[in-house]
Amino acid sequence: GGGGNPIVCLHGFDSSCLEFRRLLPRLEAAGAEAYALDVLGWGFTQRDEGLIKDFGVEGKRDHLKAFLEQVLGGRKAVLVGASLGGCVAIDFALAYPDLVEKLVLLDPQGYVEGAPMGGQPKFLQDVGIAVLKSKPLRMFANKIAYAEPETFGTEDAMRIGRLHCLSPPGWEEAMRGYMDGGGYKLAESIVRVPQSTLILWGQQDKILDPKLYAERFVADIGTDKARLQMVENCGHVPHLEQPQKTAEAILEYIGAKSESRV
């Protein structure tokens, strides 16, 4: 199963749906029903504290559930989670297994637990949040994300990755809400993932070393359910650095034929 199920792509920590700007068109060109969803509090989601009380894990889970129920009519989806988006996908799959057909994890986080600066005094969080928003920090993260930073780690890429910090308002408060919520703690729960899972990992990932984590995901989820595929000439973001290979692997895994060579 999976070929007729909608695909929902979930971006990484403090990123946006624009992370899938190269992958989504390839999935759609092959006839897949695909969506790139902003995770609550990040991306370009509404961040009005008067309306949204929880920017932590539970709030993000409820937001994804509402999307699947209200937009997709409660149909089972294939969740594609990149980096921390892998945590979002795993957490949701454990909480609502009846809404998830399969998982695809792209260089997923899972064994690195918690949130940065969680429980720290507000003034320290404010300093950290200001640094997180800064162009130098964004450019540094941009460069280490790729196997070929000269090609992909450009100033344009940095600007795209930073856009959501600037608008809509409330990014700082949403980030603080995630920090104070404690982040994702899934290391002991990955063994309970019930869905068939494809794990794609960039061979040259400098952020989450595949030698430390890739086989561990397979072992914990189970060799009967999990499959690992390494992506050559690729760092932490296969959906940006090797989008065609990533699209083909996803489409093949869910039983949809890739006919596009966008």
Mapping DSSP onto H, E and C, the string for 21-32 reads CCHHHHHHHCCC
| 261 pLDDT above the threshold of 50 | no
How does pLDDT run across 81-137, given as a tens digit for each residue? 999 999 999 999 999 999 999 999 999 999 999 999 988 999 999 999 999 999 999
Give the pLDDT confidence score for residue 260 in this predicted structure. Answer: 43
Mapping DSSP onto H, E and C, the string for 85-127 reads HHHHHHHHHHHCHHHEEEEEEECCCCCCCCCCCCCCCHHHHHH
The backbone torsions φ and ψ at residue 222, rounded to the nearest 5 degrees and listed phi first, read 115, 135
Query: Could you give the residue numbers annotated as active site?
Result: 83, 205, 236
Nearest to 56 by CA among 170, 164, 138, 173: 173
How does pLDDT run across 128-142, given as a tens digit for each residue? 999 999 999 999 999
Q: Rounded to whole angstroms, how far apart are CA atoms 24 and 29?
A: 9
Q: Which tokens is 239 given?
A: 């959906």
Q: Rounded to whole angstroms, how far apart are CA atoms 29 and 114?
A: 37
With a threshold of 0.85, does the pTM exceed it? yes
Local structure of 10: helix, strand or coil: strand
Mean pLDDT of 175-197: 97
Which residue has 């086989």 as its token pair? 215
How does pLDDT run across 152-170, given as a tens digit for each residue? 999 999 999 999 999 999 9
**CB 21, CB 43: distance < 8 Å:** no
